[in-house]
Amino acid sequence: MPIRTVYKAQIDHMQILDEDGKLDEKLAKNTLTDEQVVHLYEQMTICRTLDEVAFKLQRSGRMGTYPQNKGQEANAVGAAIALEKGTDWLVPCYRENAALFMHGLPMHYILLHWMGDERGNQIPDGLKITPLSIPIGTHMLHAVGIAWAMKLRKERGVACTFFGDGATSEGDFHGAMNFAGTQQVPCIFYCQNNQWAISVPREIQTAGETIAQKALGYGMPTMQVDGNDIFAVYKATKDAADRARAGGGPSFIEAITYRLGDHTTADDAKRYRSAEEVDSWKLKDPLIRTRKYLERKDQWSDKKQSELDERAKKITAEVVKTAEGIEKPHTDDMFNHLFSEIPAELRRQRDTLRTHSLGQEPGQVGLRAPGQAEHV
């Protein structure tokens, strides 16, 4: 019998706004208005300013390890504006700060998280956002579960989960992708391919020519986009969300981007990245190209930039003041927020800060046998 081809595929790459701020008008049709671009540029700038302040907080011992979002902001804002606030779920990793802020998360929550204050993970009621996920890839399973629940309830929401290229080498990624594909859940897998899985380059940590092609094995639509292009990010995310709402199941987006800073403040990227590589990516900075576009459209000026920079500094100063000025947590909190109704045993532990009976009921001390030592 002759050999026959049973499967063919191609991966498309989309760029709408190039590094010089030039727009492909045809592809950009029905995407972002100039007013929206101004708004997204402002959000990226504020996020970048917070990054710089957070870095200084860590270096001065006022905060723990922090992962900068610097260089990847277009992914967050482009996806955030394409998704419906209050309807769709954001299931983030830890470089999507701007998206979380745009969907309602108070900015100081991010600082609280990295200060080690669990209240930074206590998402306010009404927000469809999950806490930051530090373990690599585990949160994708949560996103699929949320999407499955929305499908069973016949809700129109979509779950969008963000992760890096290194996460696609984790087993949880494949479990999540397989379940999403077989159950056709309304989930968007958004991979920020920033070229490095901490210190491991993309070409070493995965053998595929693209990350996007991994989705083909799970039967879902997939695309590669310029992740520093807010127009391409918006269009790809919006198309995926529309497809999911129409019952088309999950989608995969590989966004080509770059982290301009270290992996975290505990990392020194100079040990494994060349200065030439970093400099080449600085030319593709999403803030620079977006400003160039706005200037071409006479929507931006040096005066507006100065005003925005000043406003961003005031906002971040207030955020830091709020985070550092919050009332210190009480030991009761570890009990009060564990259950909606605290069991009697845990209530006794909370009130006495003891787990053994003598500690909880000191009156029993008189019942000890003669010579028996007291253990408190």
| Bridge partner residues of 188 (DSSP) | 160, 251
DSSP letter for each residue of 47-58: HHHHHHHHHHHH
Which residue do the tokens 């975290």 mark? 264
Tokens coding 296: 């071409």
φ, ψ (nearest 5 deg) of residue 115: -85, -5
Classify each residue of 270-282 as buried b or exposed e, where b means 16 or more C-beta atoms within 10 Å of its C-beta.
eeebeeeebeebe
Active site residue 218: no
CB atoms within 10 A of CB 84: 14
Tokens coding 299: 């929507």
Which residue is catalytic, options 259, 273, 289, 291?
259
Side chain identity, residue 170: E
Which residue do the tokens 């087993």 mark? 171
Which residue is catalytic, options 263, 273, 289, 291?
263
CA 120 – CA 352 distance, rounded (Å): 27
Give SS3 for 253.
strand
| Bridge partner residues of 335 (DSSP) | none
Active site residue 272: yes
Contact (CB, 8 A) for 181 and 218: yes
Which residue is catalytic, options 272, 296, 337, 368?
272
CA 273 – CA 270 distance, rounded (Å): 5
- In 3D, which of 215, 170, 173, 163 has the Cα closest to residue 12? 215
The 8-class DSSP code of residue 276 comes to: H
Tokens coding 12: 């498309």
Q: Output 358-367 pairs: Cβ under 8 A, ≥24 positions apart.
A: none
Active site residue 263: yes
Q: Is the dihedral of CA 59, 62, 63, 64 positive or negative?
A: positive
- Which active-site residues does the annotation give? 259, 263, 272
